[in-house]
Amino acid sequence: MLIRKPSEIPSSLITPRTQYLNRRRFLRGALSGAAVAGAAALGVDRAAELISPRTAALAGTKLPTVKSPLSTTGEELTPYQDITTYNNFYEFGVPKGDPSRNAGVLPTRPWTVKVEGLVNKPKTFDIDTLLKMRPLEDRIYRHRCVEAWSMVIPWVGYSLSELLKQVEPQSKAKYVQFLSYYDKHVEKWSDESNIFWPYSEGLRLDEAMHPLTLLTFGLYGEVLPNQDGAPVRIVVPWKYGFKSAKSIVTIRLVEKQPHTTWNDQGPQEYGFFSNVNPNVDHPRWSQKTERRIGLPLFSQRRQTLMFNGYADQVTSLYNGMDLRKYY
């Protein structure tokens, strides 16, 4: 497959951001017009289905944010264009450009996140309640995919611990499982891979409670585009990207280590912990270096940092653990 990477497109071809957004809004308008016309021919019930809440329209809405002391500094931000067109979101297709083309059909309203399992106060949160529960922070993080590419992304959200504290985890709870939205009629591309849906990820409870673990609603100060995991996702910056489940609907506190999607796919290749670690190679490639997306080709290659550069904050979580064994 030959796809021109965003970084290889001359900047003269990159649409300025405002123009790009206006065009998208225009296209969306045109599309919903077509949906209404098409719906008239189908009868009322189908019509309601076609026009019903489909909130790609929310993507790009400004979010009120405060600066975060936990932001990574001194890194050049990856352009919005790259963050939103070079994605892994297998529910919407395997090639990196497919999620940005297909994820518009994800219905991001109404949306709830159910927090259940070993907690004293299980609760189903409406997404708009979650959005207002705590001040939203601008948090810049390095983002390192297991495929050895990376970005620097200004996310918007607050620490997941703020939500977990509210439901009061019981002492038996040792792990947290995250489940993504799944509807094979909406995510028609999901059969391109043999993943056992819904996408499932997990963290040890202390990892989930770490302040760096972000409950994420936006990027670049705006509501997440669907392809980046709208309306809410997890971001765990010291781990490979696949640990950060997108478009989550369930958070479950459990006693035993939950099954996780990439570990199911290849346990020798993708461990449960999957901390970014330049000293432990993937069986099929090195993890010593990475390619920073969005930079000129000659300057993309760089050293991968232990725990993706967050060692000062997270090393203590793994005291006494053999990180080769627990990869």
Ligand X SMILES: Nc1nc2c(c(=O)[nH]1)N[C@H]1C(S)=C(S)[C@@H](COP(=O)(O)O)O[C@H]1N2
Catalog residues that contact ligand X under the rule CB under 6 A.
87-91, 143, 145, 180, 199, 228-229, 241-242, 244-247
Q: Which residue has the tokens 């006693």?
A: 255
Cβ nearer to ligand X, comparing 91 with 137: 91
DSSP letters for 190-201: GGGS---SSPEE
226 is written with which tokens? Answer: 């669907």
* Binding partner of residue 327 among Mo ion, ligand X, none, CB cut-off 5 to 8 Å per kind: none
CB closer to Mo ion out of 225 and 241 = 241
Instruction: Read off φ and ψ for residue 17, nearest 5 degrees.
Output: -55, -45
Q: Which of 241, 258, 271, 294 binds Mo ion (CB under 5 A)?
A: 241
- Whose Cβ is closer to ligand X: residue 218's or residue 241's? 241
Which stretches does DSSP call E strand in 16-122? Answer: 66-67, 112-117
Question: Which does residue 141 bind out of ligand X, Mo ion, none, counting CB within 5 to 8 angstroms by kind?
Answer: none
Alpha helices in 89-199 (DSSP H): 98-102, 127-133, 160-167
Restricted to residues 117-146, the positions that interact with Mo ion (CB under 5 A) are: 145-146
- Shortest distance (Å) from residue 182 CB to Mo ion: 18
Measure the CA–CA gap between 217 and 214, rounded to whole angstroms: 9
Return the number of the residue (86 or 118) whose C-beta is nearest ligand X: 86
CA distance 25 to 106: 17
Beta bridge partners of 214: 159, 235
Q: Give min distance, CB of 86 to ligand X, in A.
A: 7
Residue with tokens 């083309």: 101
Query: Residue 54 or residue 246: which is nearer to ligand X going by CB?
Result: 246
In the list 197, 242, 270, 310, the residue contacting Mo ion (rule: CB under 5 A) is 242
Quote the least distance from Cβ 224 to ligand X, whole Å. 8
Q: Given the structure tokens 């996140």, which residue do they identify?
A: 113
Interface with Mo ion (CB under 5 A): 88, 145-146, 241-242
